Structure 1
Amino acid sequence: MIRHFSQITRAAGVFSLGAAFLVGTPVLRAQAAPELEFHSGSAGGSFLPYAQAASQVITESGVASVEAVESGGSNANLAAIEESDTVLATVFLGSANAAANGTGAFDGTPTMNTRALFPMYMTSFQIAARVDAGIGAFMDLDGRRVGAGPAGGPAENYLTALAEVVGISPVIVNASSAEHVDQMVAGEIEALWQGASVPVPAIVASAEQTDAIVFGLTDDEIEAMLDLFPFMAPTEVAPGVYPGQSDPIHSVAAWNFVMTSSEMSDELAYQITSAVLSRDDLEEVLPLLALTRAENAVSNRIIQFHPGAIRYYEEVGVALP
C-alpha cells in the first residue's frame, strides 16, 4: 500500500506420561507442558528468526512447547499480549512506550497487561537508497518512495515523525521487509528505512542485490530523534558492516524485549526467563541472541517486569531500575 506522508514447529504439544501400569492402579499422567505462541514480525526482519531461536531454547528446556509465528510486528504483538496469557512477543521499547502511554498507534487506549521478561538486542535504524535515485541523505527523501515496513509500525512512525520535524514529505510504502527488498530491486521504491539488529538484514539484502548506498542521520537529525523519542540513544555502525560502506554510519537505536501478559503465572514467567537467560550458548543457537543476557535487563525503564522475571533477576543479582 502506498500513501503520502502528509496524509499522515507449532512444536507439537509434548505430553509427559507419568507412572506405570500396575495391576489395579490407574495410569497417572503428568501435566502437559503449556503450549505458547511466540509472536514476532514479518519475513525478512530480525524478529522472526529471534523468536524461532528463543522458541527452540524454551521448548528444549521442557518448560513449555512454543511455536514462533509471523505477525505485524511490535504494535500487533502488544495487542496480542493484551488478549491472551499464552503469548510471548518481541517488542521494540519505542512501541511499548507508546502503548503504555496511550499515544501514537495506541492513542487513547493504553495497554495495561504487558510485562517484560528479558532483553533481546538493540534496534538500529539505517537507510538504503538506489544509487540511480541520487539520494545520499535523509533530507533527500522528500517526495521519494520510501519503504517503511508494515503500516503503522515503529519504522513508519519514526520516519514520519522525523520527516515532519525537518520539513520533508516522503511517499511512504508499506510492506514486509522481504517485500521491500524486492521493491528496491524492481525500482518500485527508491529508498528503504529499516530498524533491526545490525547489520539490518533488509538493508544488507538491498545493498547486495542492487546498486545501493547505506547511510544514517546527521548530528542535527539524531538530536531531533532523541528529543522526540527519549528512549533512544545515539549509535555508530563501524565501517565495512554493509557492502561498499567505507565510513562509520551514525544513527539512533533502542532496545527490544520479550514481553508477555501480566496474567501469565509467576511460576511460568520465572521458568521461561530462567530457561533462556541461564543458557550459556545462546549466541551459538543464533548470533541475534548474543545480547540476551540478564545484565542487559536494566535497559528497560518503560514496561514493568513480570513478577516471575523479577524473581529470576533477584536470584542472579541484577538490580532492575
Structure 2
Amino acid sequence: MKFLKSMTVALAATALLGSAASAETRVTYKSAKAGSSYYQMAVQISEAMKAGTDGAISVTVEESQGSVQNVMEVRARGGDYVFTTPPALIGLAQGGRAMFEGKGDPAFDDIRALFPIPSLTMHFVMSADSGVESFADMEGKTILLGSGSFGAREGAKYIEMFGLKDKVTIADVELSNAVSALKNGQIDGFVTAGSYPAPNVIEAAASTGVTVLSLSPEQVTQTKRTKLVIPAGTYAGQDSEITTTSLPVVAFTTTKMDEETAYQLTKTYWETKAEMSGEAKWWEGVSVDMLSNITSSIHPGAIRYYKEIGAPLSDAHM
C-alpha cells in the first residue's frame, strides 16, 4: 500500500510538472545584430517578460541582419514570432513596393503591431573645439558618416538637403572609431543614429565635450521624418533640449499569435518599462503617445490592453 501511495504521489507530481511546463508560452523575438543597442533592448524585454509573468512567457532572442529580413521571415514563421521594424516597412511590404517589389506575399497582410520601442534618433555630434553650433557652421569641417547604416544614409541626405554638399569633407573612417577620431582631431564631428541616449555620444560628451546640433522646425519638415526632442541633461554639458528627427521602431507579430499571448506581451511590456528604464535610459523616451507612429493594424490582444488603459487609438489601428 505504501508503495502504491508513493507511486500515486509521484505520478501526480509528474502530472503537475507536465502541466506547468505545457503552460509556458514560448516566443521568439527577432530584432537586430548582436552587440547593437536594439539587441540589448531585446535581451531586456526577454528578461522583463520572464520576471513580469513569473516565467509564464519565455522569450528567446534571435540575432537579425536587419529590419527587411525581419519582415520577410513572416512568410515562414508561426504564432510565436515577434519582430521589430520601422512601421513604414510594413506598408511597403503590404504594397509590394521598394525593397519588397516582386516579393509580395499574403502573409504580410497578417502583420499586426504590439508596442513601440525606442526610435532610431539622428545625432549630429560636433566637437566643442570645432565651434560648430548649427548646420551652417559645418561648412569646411570634416564629418564622419560611416557607411551602410540608416544613420549614414540619413546623414548624407541631410547634408545635401541643407546645402552642405561639397562644402564638408566626408571622413573615410569607420563609425566604430568615431569617438577616438574626434578626440585626436581627425574629424570635427560624426553622425550616428540609434536610441537615445546613444552610447557613443555619451562617451564623446564625457571625454571630449561635444555639441549635438538641433534642427529648426523648417529643417524637420524638410526631412519628412518624425520630430523627436532629446531632453536637456541627457548628455554631459547639454543644457538645453535638442530637436532632431527619428525613425520610429515597433514590435510586431501576426494574426497567427493568439489574443491572450499578445495581450500579456503588451501588458507586461508597459508594466515593466519603468523598471527597464532604471537599467537603460532609452526606455524613458517611450510613451503610449507613440502609438500614433503606428500606421497599420494593431493586434486585437494589444488593442484590448490599450482600451483598458485608455490609450489613444485611431481607426487605422483597428
TM-score over 0.5 for the pair: yes
Q: Deviations over 1:96-136 (max 9, x none)?
A: 55555555544564654432111223443221134566765
What amino acid is aligned across from residue 39 of structure 2 in structure 1? Answer: L
Structure 2: stretches of 5+ with no match in the other structure:
1-5
Verify: 1:40 aligned to 2:31, yes or no: yes
User: SS state of the match for residue 245, structure 1?
Assistant: coil
Give the alignment partner of residue 268 of structure 2, picking from 275, 286, 299: 275
Give the match for residue 9 of structure 1: none
Give the alignment partner of residue 191 of structure 1, picking from 189, 192, 206: 189
Give the match for residue 66 of structure 1: 59
What amino acid is aligned across from residue 262 of structure 2 in structure 1? Answer: A
Give the match for residue 82 of structure 2: 88
The normalised TM-score by structure 1 is: 0.70
Q: Deviations over 1:248-298 (max 9, x none)?
A: 4322235432222333333322221222234475334644334555x4363
The structure that is helix-richer by fraction is: 2
With 180-189 and 201-210 compared, the bigger mean Cα shift is at: 180-189
Verify: 1:165 aligned to 2:151, yes or no: no
Calculate percent identity across the aligned residue pairs: 23
Cα distance in 1, alignment partners of residues 267 and 37 from structure 2: 23
What amino acid is aligned across from residue 22 of structure 1 in structure 2? Answer: T
Give the match for residue 261 of structure 1: 254
Q: Deviations over 1:44-95 (max 9, x none)?
A: 6542332222111112212322133443443443344454233323333455
CA 249–272 in structure 1, closer or farther in 2 if over 3 Å, else same: closer
Give the match for residue 121 of structure 2: 124
CA 23–68 in structure 1, closer or farther in 2 if over 3 Å, else same: closer
Give the match for residue 7 of structure 1: none
Given that 2:135 and 2:162 are in contact with CA atoms closer than 8 Å, whether structure 1 keeps it comes out as no
Which has the larger Rg? 2
Given that 2:145 and 2:156 are in contact with CA atoms closer than 8 Å, whether structure 1 keeps it comes out as no
Shift of 1:305: 0.9
Shift of 1:220: 3.4
Given that 1:50 and 1:288 are in contact with CA atoms closer than 8 Å, whether structure 2 keeps it comes out as no
Structure 1: stretches of 5+ with no match in the other structure:
1-19
CA 296–213 in structure 1, closer or farther in 2 if over 3 Å, else same: closer
In the alignment of these two chains, the number of paired residues is 293
Shift of 1:36: 3.0
Give the match for residue 208 of structure 1: 206
Give the alignment partner of residue 146 of structure 1, picking from 144, 147, 163: 144
Given that 2:250 and 2:294 are in contact with CA atoms closer than 8 Å, whether structure 1 keeps it comes out as no
Give the match for residue 155 of structure 1: 151
Cα distance in 2, alignment partners of residues 291 and 238 from structure 1: 9
Given that 2:145 and 2:155 are in contact with CA atoms closer than 8 Å, whether structure 1 keeps it comes out as no
Cα distance in 1, alignment partners of residues 74 and 178 from structure 2: 27
